[in-house]
Amino acid sequence: MKDAIVLDISVTHTPDAMKAFLYVSDSGGGEYPSVEDLRSALLNRGVIVGINEEALVAMVNQLICNTYIEVAAGVPALAGVPASIEILIDVSQKGRPRVLPGGKVDHRDISYVVNVRKGTELVRRIPPVLGTDGRTVFNRPVMAPVVDDKPLKAGRGTVLSAIAPNVLVADINGAVVVFPDGRVEVVDDKVISGNIDYSTGNIRFSGNLTVSGTLRAGFEIDVEGNCRIGGNMEDSKITCLGDLEITGGAVGQTKGTIRCAGSLKVRHIANFTVMAGGDIRITEDAVHCTMSSEGNIVVKSVVGGTVAAGKTIEADSIGTEAEARTVIDLGGKYLLMQRKYALLKELADVTGSIGGVKQTMFELVRDEMSSSGVLTQGAMERLNGLKKKHADRLRRCGEARSEMELIDKKLESAPIPYVKASTVFPNTLIKFGSIEKLIKEKLFQARIVAEGDKIVVGK
């Protein structure tokens, strides 16, 4: 018996070979092919991936002819996810005024500088996710698209984290600079061209700061390094952990404040409160200021106010012909000695009280502990309170001893303080610690020191 004639079967596919089609023609006559016949036609043409058995069954059941039927589909390649850089610090508020409780806006605080500390995480690299290769209906590979990578590059003031290789951290204390291309740097030297006013707001910076213009009234600068003001300083505030230089003058209406841990250099100053850890040098006049330095003060003239130094004060003139009240205080060394005596007295008192607390603890345990070695809840609370008091007193003793050691070191290196001036006008009060002398007659080429409990004026 001869095999039955089967209708003509043809196989075709899309140009990318991701889809295959069957075409059954009835033009030549014959029986409709079976599912196996259809499958064999595909396999004979090399179509082996993604054959849709349901489509083959449907063709046979419905005797579909003269129509292209999709019967196989390849596996498409899946695209990956490119690498990305995530900024870990919030710079969204930079340049915006701070909103205060109640909805008010502080236009002096506009986050002109975003500061970070060394070790702060700045950016994170999110590695790329590779795509998955696909297959054509002929089982040929379809390569997934190449994904872009973005390696982390340590810019100025940054370094790759030692514990997280995909994280960039600050290598110094400073201000963050985020560039349009995503680069991040940390700078510890910042230059602000122009004035500190409503355009910049208050400035807080972790490094060295240079301002080319003037610090306007009502605004503040707070820097952890050195600071230089190229213009003047109005009734404003500066806090500086390094040296401070004001090229112009600092003139206010008693609201201005300067605090610097290092030295201060200024051309002239009036109606300011000044505290410096280092020397103060004033090229011209200091008028009605409250000024203190742990080092030396050198000034052309002092008019009114109080000027205190830990070491020496040198001036061309102190006071005025109008006999404005001027106070010159060189009590630094003497105040250290007075502080040491106060600490010694406090140490004796605290040491004595420690013995009393220990005795009270002993008596409480002796009198209130049961035969089984248990204290009542109330007794335990009192005992814990005594233990805390004992620990607080021991801590205070340690602090007092440490402070006295620091004072002793300062006293060892402290020079003999003196005042030196070409002219000292009457109504100038000279103080060395607890002793003082009011100048009643004009002095010339004077060198003033303390000897014992007296103030001596010499040349």
257 and 235 Cβ atoms separated by less than 8 Å? no
Interval 401-444: pLDDT, tens: 888 888 787 767 667 789 999 999 999 999 887 788 999 999 99
Q: Which residue has the tokens 């051309």?
A: 267
Q: Which of 155, 171, 187 is the last residue of a domain?
A: 187
Is residue 225 located within the same domain as residue 249? yes
Q: Which of 73, 105, 120 is the last residue of a domain?
A: 73
Residue 269 in any domain: the answer is: yes
For position 414, what pLDDT does the model report? 65
Is residue 61 located within the same domain as residue 90? no
- Give the span between the Cα atoms of 219 and 234, in whole angstroms: 9
- Give the span between the Cα atoms of 246 and 260, in whole angstroms: 12
Query: Under DSSP, is residue 274 helix (H, G, I), strand (E, B) or coil?
Result: strand
Residue 424 in any domain: the answer is: no
Is residue 289 located within the same domain as residue 375? no
**CA dihedral over 72, 75, 77, 78, signed as positive or negative:** positive
Q: Which two tokens stand for residue 214?
A: 């003037």
Range of the domain at 358: 336-413
Residue 454 in any domain: the answer is: no
Is residue 273 located within the same domain as residue 211? yes
pLDDT at 1 over 50: no
For position 112, what pLDDT does the model report? 60
Is residue 173 located within the same domain as residue 202? no
**CA dihedral over 64, 67, 72, 75, signed as positive or negative:** negative
Is residue 97 located within the same domain as residue 153? yes
pLDDT at 42 over 70: yes
Q: Report how many domains make up the chain.
A: 4
Is residue 205 located within the same domain as residue 273? yes
Residue 276 in any domain: the answer is: yes
Interval 200-237: pLDDT, tens: 888 888 888 899 999 999 999 998 888 999 999 999 99
Burial 406-444 (b: 16+ CB within 10 A, else e): ebeeeeeebeebbbbbebbbeebebbbbeeebebeeebe
Interval 94-123: pLDDT, tens: 555 555 566 554 545 445 667 788 898 988
243 and 278 Cβ atoms separated by less than 8 Å? yes
Residue 409 in any domain: the answer is: yes
Is residue 44 located within the same domain as residue 123? no
Is residue 224 located within the same domain as residue 285? yes
Percent over 90 (pLDDT), the chain: 46
Nearest by Cα to 216 from 241, 187, 194, 240: 194
Is residue 209 located within the same domain as residue 289? yes
